[in-house]
Each structure stands twice: as C-alpha cells, then as structure tokens.
C-alpha cells in the first residue's frame, strides 16, 4: 500500500514559527515532526511507498531537502485545491487500491495493521482513526447552587462524540467522487465535501484507538504544554522502528 502524508497546509495556528519553516519541520524530541511520521509509516509491512504532498516550491522545499535521500519517499507539489484536491492529482498513482492518508500534524502510534483490517471488515470506502476519551489541559470544578463542591485536576473526559485524528485508510475509488465534486467546486475538503456524503451511506468506518495517546501538533506551544504525552507517543512510535 501507499501512504500519503499531507504536509502542505499553511500552519496558521503555529504562526509566527511557520513564517520561516513548515509545520512539518517543527522540532519534536530532537527531530522534525514529519520524520517521526515517516519512520512510523515505513515501519509497517503494509506500506511500500510514502508520498509527501507539500509546497515544494515554497517552505515545503525544506521537507524535501531533509528527506529526499530516502528511497521510499516521493514528493508531490501541493495543488492548493483542498485536502481532497491533492488526492485528485494523485489519481493515476493511487489506482483503484486502498491507501493510508496521514495529516502531518498528528502524532500517535495508531495500529495501522488493525486499522486496515477494520477497514476491510466493515467494507468501507474510508476509515478514520478516532478516540472518545481526552485528557483535558485545564482543571474542572463540580458546582452545586453556585458553590464549588470539588476540584478535578485535568480529568480524563469521555466526549459525547468521537474525535477524528487525521489518520485514514481510503479506497482509491474515492477519486471518482472527488472528480465529480470538482465539476462545481475548485477547493474540495475531504471530510465535509466527500466523506460526509459517504457517511450517510454507512461507508465510512471508525477505528477506535482507545487509550493510545494522540496529539494534534498545532504549534510548539502545544508540544511544550504536553511534554509528557509527547515523550510517551514518540517512544511508542519508535518502539517498532
């Protein structure tokens, strides 16, 4: 299978850092963020090739310079036409086979083999890694009649809805759906423009990562606030490499 890493975002949440380097190059435990993702994907027996979509002509050129000696990696210029638009331009490369899709600002040792098995068993067109429990970054309080009865320090909370992690397995047949959407829209979002419709037909499965730690790397500040979690995630991602 091929694995695609989307690393072409502008990184607006990470400014001013991303005025000088792409979010994918944010240092995490001594190495660029994207290097941890690449090593983890490459460690899976399912992954035969990694395609990195980024703005090679812009700041994304830093990613290419850092990783271009890896024979398992191929680089593709970001099309600037949305998260689904980038997949459209990879149609011939992807063919009609499933592939992994990983948004670069996500860190987590998601079990790719089990996720792919779930994707197949559910006869999905797409599968997204999800979680329902989240460790809060702030403290909470139980309140009765305007009086605090108990303080709760950064609890583990069960969310009413599952949180999407930005890690997917997708069937190549989705390219036809993206092509159809492009007839009326030139910037196509994968989740809202494509997967939303498929979900109404029961064709999008959810792979629950349960207690596997995961982090959305919005900015260096998020990494600093979650230092212990980051170290745990990197250890897990490095374990089988």
153-162: pLDDT as tens digits: 887 888 899 9
pLDDT of the residue at 153: 86
Count of residues in the chain: 241
Which among 126, 145, 147, 128 has a CA at the least distance from the CA of 198?
A: 126
Residue 134 has pLDDT above 90, yes or no: no
- How many CB atoms within 10 Å of residue 223? 19
Categorize the per-residue pLDDT at 181 as very low, low, confident or very high, splitting at 50, 70 and 90.
very high
Categorize the per-residue pLDDT at 61 as very low, low, confident or very high, splitting at 50, 70 and 90.
very high
Categorize the per-residue pLDDT at 240 as very low, low, confident or very high, splitting at 50, 70 and 90.
low
Cβ(129)–Cβ(165) below 8 Å:
yes
CATH code, domain carrying 74: 3.90.550.10
Kindly report whether the global pTM for this prediction surpasses the value 0.85: yes
State how many domains the chain has. Answer: 1
**Domain extent at residue 62:** 2-239
* Paired strand residues for 141: 151
């Amino acid at each position: 299978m091929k694995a695609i890493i989307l690393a072409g975002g502008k990184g607006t949440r990470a400014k001013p850092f991303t005025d000088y380097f792409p979010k994918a190059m944010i240092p995490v435990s001594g190495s660029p963020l994207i290097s941890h993702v690449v090593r983890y994907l490459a460690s899976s027996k399912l992954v035969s090739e990694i395609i990195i979509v980024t703005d090679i002509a812009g700041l994304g050129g830093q990613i290419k310079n850092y990783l271009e000696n890896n024979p398992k990696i191929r680089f593709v210029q970001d099309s600037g036409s949305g998260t689904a638009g980038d997949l459209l331009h990879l149609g011939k490369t992807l063919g009609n086979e499933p592939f992994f899709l990983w948004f670069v600002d996500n860190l987590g040792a998601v079990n790719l083999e089990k996720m792919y098995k779930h994707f197949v068993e559910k006869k999905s067109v797409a599968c997204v890694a999800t979680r329902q429990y989240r460790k809060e970054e702030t403290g909470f309080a139980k309140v009765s009649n305007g009086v605090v009865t108990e303080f709760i320090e950064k609890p583990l909370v069960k969310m009413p809805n599952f949180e999407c992690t930005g890690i997917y397995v997708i069937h190549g047949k989705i390219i036809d759906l993206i092509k159809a959407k492009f007839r009326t829209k030139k910037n196509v979002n994968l989740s809202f423009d494509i997967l939303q419709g498929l979900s109404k037909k029961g064709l999008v499965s959810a792979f629950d990562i349960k207690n596997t730690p995961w982090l959305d790397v919005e900015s260096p500040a998020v990494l600093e606030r979650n230092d212990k979690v980051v170290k745990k995630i990197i250890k897990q991602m490095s374990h089988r490499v």
